[in-house]
Structure 1
């Protein structure tokens, strides 16, 4: 006995698949609930090729229905033959970005894991009703320095990686187009030696009170501004030993502060190194490492 398993993917695949199962069910004498009401033994002779016989003598299509958009699955379920399919065979969900995916895609080098978060739209409650929210508008806002939650200007550095998480009803195609547009227009603000360094995710459900929103997470070398500022403030206070006695009184040593300062300066230097790096330099660095290993 041979079985044929049908994979129905996307809106087109599922719409064609639904019509296919209507025709096949009619030919085999299967009604919309999966019960057999045929008038010929020939209809049952090879029925296991397309159907699996379940409990109660009902026939279930050997089909797996897949789509990122839950609406397509809803239309199949509410259609004339929706009860025919097994609920477990509906595979749907949204394009997502869990913490593991973010960690893998956002951290190209172990020490450079400090992100600049941002959010759009940032508008006053009173002006919300007068402002039209679109994907281009959200994209423009989320890359704006005024929308960043870290006190540093991304225009003073280069992006190693970026994650953009959109919420609300929008087209994935439009999101991809806007991300490509940003990279093409502002290529000097992205390192060229990490290709496809913008990760996107879309959730259909918007935040409460908004039609759509965007959360921005950027791994930018501009964050060294923040570390430089902290380092300068620390150095000025440490030179005068301000508040130091509170820490040494609890068992800490002055050398721990000196070491921490050195580590921060090394971090700033590493960010600057990758900001200035080019694709050619990265390639040469990789070749040198290969020679050393050889």
Structure 2
């Protein structure tokens, strides 16, 4: 099986990742404890792409969760699917990046990067035939942009023949008042051009526009925005309805060729 290792970093990346795993679990018929409870065996057809089946029969996501502050990790662990992840795969610091790209890339992030890489290696070793990595992060904050791009460059050095796909949320001045977000995004784009094979651009302003115009929400909260992103990732990964599971293909190189 051609496995995909999912990495989510920063507050935005982790919250989008949490919604993404809720969608994937629902499609595969996996409950919040990692047990299969679906209604069709076809749901388990390609479950090993995103999950590692433990000896006890539980399905554990092939996921690495990182942040430079513990708050997001705590909220994920206490969430509806927090217990499905492997506890050792939560890697976090205590200081935060303070929306500073340099802190995430050169100082605080650089101090934590080896711990994240250790988890990435362990997950990669558990794969029979790893096809690549997918990284979920934002380019406006300090962790997702600075440390996220640092991790991408390190993975590229260590796994040069594996595909690298990113889902990058670009900032917008209309939905944020943080003045350094454009600088963080500009510094990150160069890194993505150098080290990513595919970069799916997710425009923050367009996401809110979907909530306003399509979902008809007057004051959209973050959960609706993150749900929209997770749905976009899900569709991009070539998932389809249960009736078509035999034709399911989750292949990063193929999606790159199609683009």
Q: State if a TM-score over 0.5 links the two structures.
A: no
Which bin holds the TM-score, normalised by the shorter protein? Answer: 0.3 to 0.5
Q: Which has the larger radius of gyration?
A: 1
TM-score normalized by the length of structure 1 = 0.32
Higher RCO by CA contacts (8 Å cutoff, separation 6 or greater): 2
TM-score normalized by the length of structure 2 = 0.37
